[in-house]
Amino acid sequence: MPVANTKAPARIQIQYPTPTVDGGRYPAKRVVGDVVAVTADVFRDGHEVLRAVVRFRGPGSRGWTEAPLHPLDAHVNGVRWGGEFTVTTQGRWEFTIEAWSDTFATWRDELQRKLGAGQSDLAGELSEGVVMLEQAMARARETGDRDAIESVLEVLGDPAGAPAAALAPDLFTAMERASERTGSTTLERPLALEVDRVGAAFASWYELFPRSWGGLAEVEKQIPAIAELGFDVLYFPPIHPIGESNRKGPNNTLTAAPGDPGSPYAIGSEEGGHDAVHPELGTLEDVRSLCATAREHGMDVALDLALNASPDHPWLKAHPEWFQQRPDGTLKYAENPPKRYQDIYNFNWDTEDWRELWQAWRDVVVHWVETGIKVFRVDNPHTKPFPFWEWLIREVHAVDRDVVFLAEAFTRRAVMRHLAKIGFTQSYTYFTWKNSRGELSEYVSELAHGPEREYFRPNLFINTPDILHAYLQHGGPPAFVSRLVLAGTLSPAYGIYSGYEHFENVPVREGSEEYLDSEKYETRQRALDGPLLPMIRRLNEIRRENPALQRLENVTFLETYNEALIAYVKSVPGNTIVCVANIDPQHAQEGSVVIPAHLGLAPAFAVGDLLTGEHYDWRIGPNYVRLDPAGKQAHVLRVEQQ
């Protein structure tokens, strides 16, 4: 059969480009100011010299900018190529890779080898060179390039001219700019990058219940002190009206006494739904004022987006079809066996009225964005449709690209990954349940160096109102210190729930992760005076002062010769941090932290402990460490004089 193509098929192959997620189906993630490292396999049949560039453009740009790619291995025509470009604005970026055969460089290489071999009959080769130079002259834009090409043309046009003139470096440079891109090939379609603000990746979170602090106006008074502690995000559970029907009492009891406030997750009453503020907390104007004060102190306010409703929510009367009903007409309340939430009803995401339901939620989120909320911690997103989240996040970002979405999804790993792929900015993790050296090093290494590094941004919340791990219950203050250091130095984003600074560690019963007298069901009297706050402040200062701690992919775990000691190094040019933590909260532990030579540090170097101010002499190889719960539980060491 005759060949059907009217255009010759491409001879250059571009394979395995990075960064990419699922072959380009979803965008990789970066933040403003990131240098994006781009790699790909670039090759073709034959021995032609290849050239390649990465072409990129920011949101709203029509034209492309180029940056060179170069072979990454030792061979002059290596298969793996790499280069980089910097993303400077938020939004959806695109990039592609273009590769072509450099006919002049190929010709020049052959000529050089023939001259080196002593061959003298090169008339045919020189005639080819003359044609290429003449064609390039017509394309050359810079005067210097035209002069370089013209001078060599004169030499090659003279029978007595020296062929070696074609090897002149200035000619090579001129021809790189002026030659045609022969056989140019690009990726089938551009790849996407979703670029967020820096706070989307690097932030310290502090969670509190406003009702335990006297309401929104009183919380606003605390913002300067919370900002001074180094927190970037102040996060509230739902602040909406709470239903009366099936209201829970203290410790999740089924009967509430008069005056019991109920769970803030049982959203909705006669006073309003998800777009309203509980009257006992304040008003919408209080929210606006609080958000403005937070911005003045360099902080964001985060609000819990809980897509459930109490039996008293206004939407149950206005849109009963939006809720899950049994055949007998009763509504199905929320369950996560063995947990039961009798005060909460689920939405019916399969309703025929789904478009109106989606739009209603979009309006709720935009309403809070307009009051100043720029961060949403989304409650149980894995129990709602993936297409809904992909649509909602895109819709909200069309209104305000600064908005950050944190997925609270402690579920199957594949589901957590998919939520990140479809648009969630950050994600909760399994960190709370990783407490041994092996578990931590394996899990964090997967996040930092595996495929998830391109799109899954972990937020290492140490505790939540629902999660008080047995390690904290039984470890006492040393356990709180080690987990704080681990969370704050392993991940660019971490968080604590208020009470952590007071070492609160009593469960409702043995074997449970629920707090006794949980703040979810009763009002507590809170104040910013916990004994761990000075260390929290210092840790947040250290995070801000050391760029190495503001990234995840730069972590390398180190040998310690003791399973109770975990050590790792994080480094960027000019800044190297070595962290060591004793994960045994009961006993002193000794070991040797091994610094490998491939880190590029001097054979001997000084380190300063940023937590205590002490200084030590370290070296490549093993370095003795002793950490005692009665004294110091961790080192955060900065390599000095790099």
Question: Distances from the Cα of 192 to the Cαs of 26, 95, 461, 540, 551, in angstroms?
Answer: 7, 7, 29, 33, 21
Q: Taking a C-beta distance cutoff of 8 angstroms, is the pair 41, 52 a contact?
A: no
Q: Which of 145, 207, 379, 504 is catalytic?
A: 379
Cis peptide before 19 (omega within 30 of 0): yes
Q: Which of 194, 220, 408, 452 is catalytic?
A: 408
Tell me if residue 73 falls in helix, strand or coil: coil
**Cβ contacts of residue 219 below 8 Å, gap of 6+?**
208, 210, 213, 234, 290
Q: Please choose, from the candidates 376, 357, 380, the residue with its C-alpha nearest in 3D space to the C-alpha of residue 368.
A: 376
Instruction: Dig out the tokens for 228 from the structure.
Output: 């001074």
Q: Which helix (H) or strand (E) holds 481?
A: helix 470-490
Alpha-helix residue ranges (DSSP H) falling in 16-158? 103-116, 123-139, 143-157
Question: Distances from the Cα of 52 to the Cαs of 170, 176, 437, in angstroms?
Answer: 20, 12, 43
- Give the DSSP letter string of 8-49: PPP-EEEEEEES-BGGGTB-EEEETT-EEEEEEEEEESSS--
**Cβ contacts of residue 505 below 8 Å, gap of 6+?**
468, 472, 473, 474, 475, 476, 480
**Cβ contacts of residue 381 below 8 Å, gap of 6+?**
389, 407, 408, 409, 419, 424
Instruction: Dig out the tokens for 448 from the structure.
Output: 């930092």
Q: Which helix (H) or strand (E) holds 484?
A: helix 470-490
Strands 80-86 and 191-196: unpaired
Active site residue 353: no
Q: What angle do CA 536, 295, 503 make, to 5 degrees?
A: 20
- Give the DSSP letter string of 371-431: HT--EEEEE-GGGS-HHHHHHHHHHHHHH-TT-EEEEE--S-HHHHHHHHHTT-SEE--SG
Instruction: Dig out the tokens for 374 from the structure.
Output: 């720029």
Q: Taking a C-beta distance cutoff of 8 angstroms, is the pair 279, 242 a contact?
A: no
CA distance 611 to 277: 41
* Residue in the block written with tokens 């290492």: 460
Residue 214: how many CB atoms within 10 A of its CB?
17
Residue 576: how many CB atoms within 10 A of its CB?
23
Residue 35: how many CB atoms within 10 A of its CB?
9
CA distance 581 to 632: 9
CA distance 495 to 394: 26
Q: What HEC string does 436-460 produce?
A: CHHHHHHHHHHHHHCHHHHCCCEEE
CA distance 633 to 47: 60
Q: Please choose, from the candidates 567, 565, 568, the residue with its C-alpha nearest in 3D space to the C-alpha of residue 628.
A: 565
Active site residue 379: yes
Q: Taking a C-beta distance cutoff of 8 angstroms, is the pair 209, 524 a contact?
A: yes
Catalytic positions, written as ranges: 379, 408
